[in-house]
Structure 1
Amino acid sequence: MIKPKTTKKDTRKELESQVDQFIKANGTIQQVNMGESGLVDGKYNTSHIGFNEPKQERTPLNHVVAAIQQKKSSKPFAPTQAKKKPKKTIIYDDFGEPLRWVWEE
């Protein structure tokens, strides 16, 4: 059985009901200024940015790339021909009236 996709309307209703349940259970909603929740001590949290570690040396793989290029160049290139699609044409009788459709290749 396939589950029906939840629509935005359903999601909104579910969120509204969860908020109503929270408020009925004596929960309080604290208002915060826009962007304030992403700040730590009034500043952006820079601990996750990733510039704290020293630059790592990369492993050279030039010989691997050269081997791959050599394999590619040694194979003969055989272009595949595109198959012609059948064409639908109409057949007329002696008086110019259409009789039937025929597929021609």
Structure 2
Amino acid sequence: MNKRPTKAETRQQLESKIEEFIQQGGEIKSVESGASGLEDGNYNRNSFVFGYPKEERTPTTKEMAAIDARRRAKTVSKPSHSFSRKPKKKIIYDDFGEPVREVWVEE
């Protein structure tokens, strides 16, 4: 397994490359913050997506509908039980929240 260089090692490599560049007669220019990312005073939007123009998206509504249909076909509905469920008591309220009557409902 290869060992990754540490931050200190990477920093040392960069410093040595900069020193070598300067010794060979290279010159470092100062640039304003954010100026290098501007083209004619605006950001180049294509550079944010690796230089490619915006692509059209492929509509997938038919494919999604087919997937949903297959998923619904796989789900098995619960079998109805032969025993009857017990009725539950439901309270009917009036407009003011007062109980009016009780009703037994089979659900």
TM-score interval (norm. to shorter): 0.5 to 0.7
Aligned-residue sequence identity (percent) comes to 32
Unaligned runs of 5+ in 2: 79-107
TM norm structure 2: 0.54
Write 1 or 2 for the structure with the bigger share of helix.
2
Give the number of aligned pairs. 73
> Measured at CA, do residues 44 and 58 of structure 1 come closer, stay the same or move farther in structure 2, by a change above 3 Å?
same
Counterpart in the other structure of 2:89: none
Instruction: Describe the superposition over 1:40-67 as per-residue Cα deviations: whole angstroms up to 9, x where unpaired.
Output: 12211134568x7686561322122220
Structure 1 runs (4+) deviating above 2 angstroms are 2-5, 46-50, 52-57
What is the aligned counterpart of 1:70 among 47, 62, 73? 73
Cα distance in structure 2, aligned partners of 1:34 and 1:46: 18
Larger radius of gyration: 2
> Measured at CA, do residues 5 and 47 of structure 1 come closer, stay the same or move farther in structure 2, by a change above 3 Å?
closer
What value does the CA root-mean-square deviation take over the aligned residues?
A: 3.0
